[in-house]
């Protein structure tokens, strides 16, 4: 029964997918005498937490009831009051928690306060599922860098375009809709200047329902982004352009005149130091970044172990050509044994395409994620 009600709480939490950043997604279910008397989920940062919404629905029926929460109730004052105090005041007798909160401001303190108040606390119910739900929050709160998803699409023979550079469309309609759904849930979308110059993309979310546009981040060491490009002029989403100190000041000034945020990053021999860029994004409470770059960007983030997860689409097409580009550029490796390793691999059909999802084995924040998902 605990898993049943926790599963219900996890389902509630997902209603707010992509809407709670920089907060986690949280769901709560209040049960009394075998009957659900209150439900709630955290809808948006700065609004009441899941526990509060569930308590309001339950009213007086919360007294002597049990509450199932996907994340440890908060015990500190932020934009809202501590949920622990509200649970104690409502007379909740038992709290079942999926996972502890990795936020240092909570990190077990909420559980301790509940137990000090004489409330029974059970931990670790569907812990792995709860950690998976909030993988972006866990990465950001523990490292102060965004969770990075690298998305790529290629043909059966590993090509992302023809030898002429033509690439629309390698994957099918269903896969493209899936990618727009990803954009809807991620805080930012990142591409390189090559993508902007070649395709002039909008990098927005286009779905049948009203989606959320991610922040657009362009890696452009020399500030070559054209003033007339969509990411500069369309006004559909916030745009950030990452440059180095080699970028001409007049180009930086021209971009800023259009409302673009130009951020200067440390440089490497390849251009922008992407690790430094992600640090800056994390400081701005950007908790997740979707990379839709080309072969150069893909190579850089993989080489520097900056990727957490990949979404790799494979289309049932053969393009051919020794000059047709593949999804990962750079120098590559000399020994196959040095290839990047992945884990938690999942494959599924998206229309006629195959989607492979997997996590980089040595990704930053991996140990915290595994601790959060441990059944106690």
pLDDT digits (tens, 9 = 90+) for 165-213: 888 889 999 999 999 999 999 999 999 999 999 899 999 999 988 899 9
123 is catalytic: no
Answer yes or no: is pLDDT of 85 > 90.
Answer: yes
How far apart CA 137 and CA 125 sit, in angstroms, is 19
Neighbouring C-beta atoms of residue 99, cutoff 10 Å:
28
How far apart CA 114 and CA 85 sit, in angstroms, is 9
Give the pLDDT score at 227: 96
Report residue 276's pLDDT band, with 50, 70 and 90 as the boundaries. very high
Q: How far apart are the first and last CA of the chain?
A: 18
Q: Locate tokens 């929460």: which residue?
A: 69
β-partners of residue 96 are 68, 122
**What is the average per-residue pLDDT within 36-59?**
95
SS3 110: helix
Q: Does the predicted model carry a pTM greater than 0.85?
A: yes
Q: Which residue in the list 3, 39, 51, 292 is annotated as catalytic?
A: 51
């Amino acid at each position: 029964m605990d898993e049943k009600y926790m599963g219900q709480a996890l389902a509630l939490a997902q209603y707010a997918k992509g809407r709670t950043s920089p907060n986690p997604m949280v769901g709560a279910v209040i049960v009394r005498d075998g009957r659900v008397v209150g439900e709630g989920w955290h809808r948006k940062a700065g609004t009441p937490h899941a526990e509060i919404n569930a308590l309001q629905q339950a009213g007086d029926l919360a007294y002597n009831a049990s509450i199932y929460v996907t994340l440890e109730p908060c015990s500190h004052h932020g934009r809202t009051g501590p949920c622990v105090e509200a649970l104690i005041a409502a007379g909740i007798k038992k709290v079942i928690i999926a996972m502890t909160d990795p936020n240092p401001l909570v990190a077990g303190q909420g559980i301790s306060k509940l137990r000090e108040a004489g409330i029974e606390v059970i931990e670790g119910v569907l812990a792995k599922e709860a950690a998976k739900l909030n993988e972006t929050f866990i990465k950001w709160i523990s490292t102060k860098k965004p969770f990075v998803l690298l998305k790529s699409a290629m043909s059966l023979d590993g090509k992302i375009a023809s030898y002429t550079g033509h690439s629309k469309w390698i994957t099918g309609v269903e896969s493209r809709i899936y990618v727009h759904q990803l954009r809807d849930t991620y805080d930012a979308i990142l591409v390189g200047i090559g993508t902007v110059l070649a395709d002039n993309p909008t990098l927005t979310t286009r779905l049948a329902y009203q989606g959320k546009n991610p922040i657009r981040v362009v890696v452009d060491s020399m500030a070559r982004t054209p003033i007339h490009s969509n990411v500069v002029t369309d006004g559909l989403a916030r745009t950030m352009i990452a440059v180095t100190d080699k970028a001409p000041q007049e180009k930086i000034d021209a971009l800023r005149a259009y409302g673009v945020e130009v951020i200067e990053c440390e440089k490497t021999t390849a251009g922008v130091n992407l690790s430094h860029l992600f640090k800056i994004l994390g400081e701005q409470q950007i908790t997740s970044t979707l990379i839709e770059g080309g072969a150069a960007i893909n190579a850089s983030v993989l080489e520097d172990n900056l990727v957490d997860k990949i979404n790799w689409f494979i289309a049932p097409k053969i393009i051919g050509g020794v000059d047709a580009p593949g999804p990962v550029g750079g120098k590559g490796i000399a020994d196959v044994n040095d290839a990047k390793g992945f884990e938690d691999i999942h494959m599924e059909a998206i229309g006629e395409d195959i989607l492979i999802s997997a996590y980089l084995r040595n990704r930053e924040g991996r140990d915290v994620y595994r601790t959060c998902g441990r059944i106690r």
